[in-house]
Structure 1
Amino acid sequence: MYIRKLSKRKIYNIQDEFYDQNKHANMKNIGLLIILLSVIISCAKNNKSEGYTINGALRNLPDSTSVVMYLDMDTVLDSTIVMNEKFRFKGKIERPRRVMLRIESTKEGRLFWLENKMIDITGEKGNIQNSQIEGSTTQDEAELLLSRKDSIYEKMESLRDMITDANRDSLFLVHEKMIDQEVEINKEFIKDYPNSYESITVLNDGTMQRLGPLETGKLFSLMNDSLRSTKEGKTIADFIKLPASPKVGEQYVDFKQKNMEGQSVKFSEVIGKYTLLEFWASWCGPCRSSNPELIQLYERYKDNGFTIVGVSLDTNKEKWIKAVQQDGLNWQNLSDLKGFHSKPAEVYGVTAIPENFLIDENGIIIARYLRGNNLEKKLKELLEK
């Protein structure tokens, strides 16, 4: 057998070559390992950011209790059951959304902001509405805004307990001032957090009607494109194109709505010598309780040129028509069934009902917020000369 002898130099050269090859291979392996780890970490981060996990812990809830999460108050987003006083939801949403967590057996609920994060909910049966929510940035912002308005809401609650037939008109004006204070707080919050989903929700949910198109437009301009492209953002974009809300001493703004038969009616075609433009709804207790007074005034002065045009902020046609028939409202009744986003409500800046505007024969708004004795005195002054 022939064995080729290698010189020490040759052996060293081969060892060096082998070492270099191994070194190169090891470096490639390390590089691949780094890339692999980066991909794993990236995937983990993406998985974390792309979905939400809700961990709920509600004391005293029995096993198998159904927990349902509603989107937009009536659309079921997900459901699960309680085990050992705990429950979990996992999923993904395109953007932060306000959802309702409801215990089906007790009908208790908790409204909160859901976003693609790890969210913890802790509470107990019988007090679900005060459950603690942790992990949602938008929810934290919403609770901050709520804390700024706590004192106003407390005053509003005490005010409701004081209402009687004798002081209702004066307390209504006090309530209106409180709403103005609330709107100012909302404005400051929107300026502080212009890119919060809570901000665009608050602006869309009554604040813009109170502020009017011009001031709403200034706040809307502070918000980013993501907020502007939402359903709420598009509603606000349409609103700021409207004319400014008319004030007392200014000309009324005409509009068109459908009556109960589905026919389009133009406001300017049904006004009288003096017209009360009355905003109300079937679900509004104070509206319904004041209807008998309106009927009396209508019957007393209709032959003198007084008329009423009711604009309902209902969203359900059957309930609207049923309320009109039950209360015996024999004047023009109109609605587009869009609630507070009704065009007349938006144009006239209506954010609370009952609300009304008294318009004279020249189309000038001569009074607003007239109720009970104040309305009766004004009509007597105008029509019993």
Structure 2
Amino acid sequence: MKYLHLKCLILLANLFIAAILPTLVLAQGYPFIIKAKINPQKKQSKVMLWYPDPANVSGVKDSAEVKNGEFEFRGNIKFPGKAILYTMPDYNDLELFIESGTILIQSSDSLANAVVTAGPLNKDFAKLQKMLAPVNKKRTEIYTDYSKALRALPENADKKVFEESWEQKKEWARSERKKIYQDFITRMPNSLVSIEAIQSSGGFTPDFKELTTLFESLTESVRNSPSGKEYQKVLSKLSQTSIGTLAPNFTQKDTTGKLVSLTDFRGKYVFLDFWASWCGPCRAEHPALVKTFNEFSNQNFTIIGVSLDQLKTRDAWLKAIVKDGLTWTQLSDLQGWSNEASTLYNVQFIPKNYLIGPDGVIIAIDLKPESLKEKLGQLLPK
């Protein structure tokens, strides 16, 4: 479970930075050195590093051997940004900001408990982490207790009631974290770290107007910095895929190689669903989504699936479609997270979906299958 959690953490951080830095190219980079020393008794053999690169949506991935608890990285980042380190085989992780200069990491224990000594960005990031620590601890407890309760749930139990009761606790943690992010932004309007805090405060369902207001509260120097200008592009893209806007059109191939456009379905209610064969949460929703599709498919409603699979996982994508019984239109350019449609819609996590009206206007975002069924029941004739 810890490994899976780490993979999600890495993915979320990866997608956040990639969203902020899609096209920026700087003439001058930021040379950095990371020097670390952790407890050699932990017997770590390798450490992995990920940091952003504006020329590569997947960022830069690097690795180093750990010898006697010590390791080192040298590089030149094109843009200061949040990075993730994790050791193997224990997958303890550490978040930090890569900025110009030497970054020292020390721990008498594991990497997760290390102290980072570096420049102003890491000092500001440390303040944010300290503010988040209490609610993060509580959130971990909530998810740990949820997992235990889910494993102990009787087969005949009402899972809907169970999930709703735990969702209230999860929502409390999300709400508290959001308050802390916004408090940090208010206290630190002159810090580039506040841009990340804005992104994080938006969570999985960001509100364009809310994030714009937060961004405008930052100092002029931060807003006009390279990262500030790039985040303005993110906000612009978000404004184009918000409720009430015309859904951006795109064209991709279906499973037979036929080109299909979103506008081909104008006149119908369309549920645009971003997923992938390797996405567990996506596929867990498919049984309920299939039921909803079968119930409403003859009432001016359809689904378009857009997969973030890659060329190398094409067979897995096709097998998943058959296994999960997905009989609606399936599209993909097999470019993974660089999928043209997902980039157009600024998709930072999956599952991600948009309910689009017959006029092509977005009317809802991030609906669970049950909520989709309820919404369609309101929109379509009985």
TM-score tier, shorter chain, comes to: 0.5 to 0.7
Structure 1 residue matching 2:107: 3-state secondary structure: strand
Structure 1: stretches of 5+ with no match in the other structure: 1-48
Q: CA deviation at 1:60?
A: 0.6
Deviations 1:160-192 (A, max 9, x none): 546673134676587567546544533442343
The answer to whether the Cα contact below 8 Å between 1:355 and 1:369 also exists between their aligned partners in 2 is yes
Q: Name the residue aligned to 1:3.
A: none
Amino acid at match of 1:219: F
Q: CA deviation at 1:307?
A: 0.6
State how 1:267-306 maps to structure 2 within 5 Å: 267-271=262-266, 273-306=268-301
Q: Name the residue aligned to 2:218.
A: 222
Structure 2: stretches of 5+ with no match in the other structure: 1-29, 53-57, 151-157
State how 1:181-196 maps to structure 2 within 5 Å: 182-196=177-191
Over 3 Å counting, the alpha-carbon distance change for 1:299 and 1:369 in structure 2 is: same
Q: Name the residue aligned to 2:37.
A: 56
Q: CA deviation at 1:212?
A: 1.2
Q: Percent identity?
A: 23
State how 1:1-385 maps to structure 2 within 5 Å: 52=33, 54-61=35-42, 65-67=45-47, 69-72=49-52, 75=60, 77=62, 79-83=64-68, 85-87=69-71, 96-115=80-99, 116-117=101-102, 119-124=104-109, 127-153=110-136, 154-155=138-139, 158=142, 160-161=146-147, 165-167=159-161, 168=163, 175=170, 179=174, 182-203=177-198, 207=202, 210-212=206-208, 215-216=211-212, 219=215, 222=218, 230=226, 232-233=227-228, 235-242=230-237, 243=239, 245-247=241-243, 250=244, 252-260=246-254, 265-271=260-266, 273-312=268-307, 314=308, 316-319=310-313, 322-323=316-317, 325-326=319-320, 327-334=324-331, 337-338=336-337, 342-343=342-343, 345-346=345-346, 353-363=350-360, 369-380=366-377, 383=380, 385=382
Structure 1 residue matching 2:160: 3-state secondary structure: coil
Amino acid at match of 1:122: S
For 1:246 and 1:90, the matched residues in 2 are separated by 40
Q: CA deviation at 1:308?
A: 1.0
- Structure number with greater Rg is 1
For 1:335 and 1:176, the matched residues in 2 are separated by 33
For 1:92 and 1:251, the matched residues in 2 are separated by 40
Structure 2 residue matching 1:304: 3-state secondary structure: coil
Aligned length in residues? 326
Deviations 1:92-114 (A, max 9, x none): 66664434434345454433223
Q: CA deviation at 1:289?
A: 0.6
Structure 2 residue matching 1:288: 3-state secondary structure: helix
Q: CA deviation at 1:239?
A: 2.6
Amino acid at match of 2:287: P
Deviations 1:41-94 (A, max 9, x none): xxxxxxxx986462414241459x4455444487455635423x4455667666
Structure 2 residue matching 1:269: 3-state secondary structure: helix
Q: Name the residue aligned to 1:39.
A: none
Instruction: Give the TM-score taking structure 2 as reference length.
Output: 0.64
Q: CA deviation at 1:292?
A: 1.4
Which has the higher mean CA deviation after the structures are superposed, 202-211 or 250-259? 202-211
Instruction: Give the TM-score taking structure 1 as reference length.
Output: 0.64
Amino acid at match of 1:240: L
Over 3 Å counting, the alpha-carbon distance change for 1:77 and 1:277 in structure 2 is: closer
Q: CA deviation at 1:157?
A: 5.7
Q: CA deviation at 1:291?
A: 0.6
Over 3 Å counting, the alpha-carbon distance change for 1:246 and 1:151 in structure 2 is: same
**CA RMSD of superposed structures (Å):** 4.4
Amino acid at match of 1:131: A
Q: CA deviation at 1:222?
A: 3.1
The answer to whether the Cα contact below 8 Å between 1:56 and 1:122 also exists between their aligned partners in 2 is yes
The answer to whether the Cα contact below 8 Å between 1:308 and 1:332 also exists between their aligned partners in 2 is yes
Structure 2 residue matching 1:123: 3-state secondary structure: coil
The answer to whether the Cα contact below 8 Å between 1:97 and 1:113 also exists between their aligned partners in 2 is yes
Q: CA deviation at 1:378?
A: 4.4
The answer to which structure, 1 or 2, has the higher relative contact order (CA under 8 A, 6+ apart) is 2
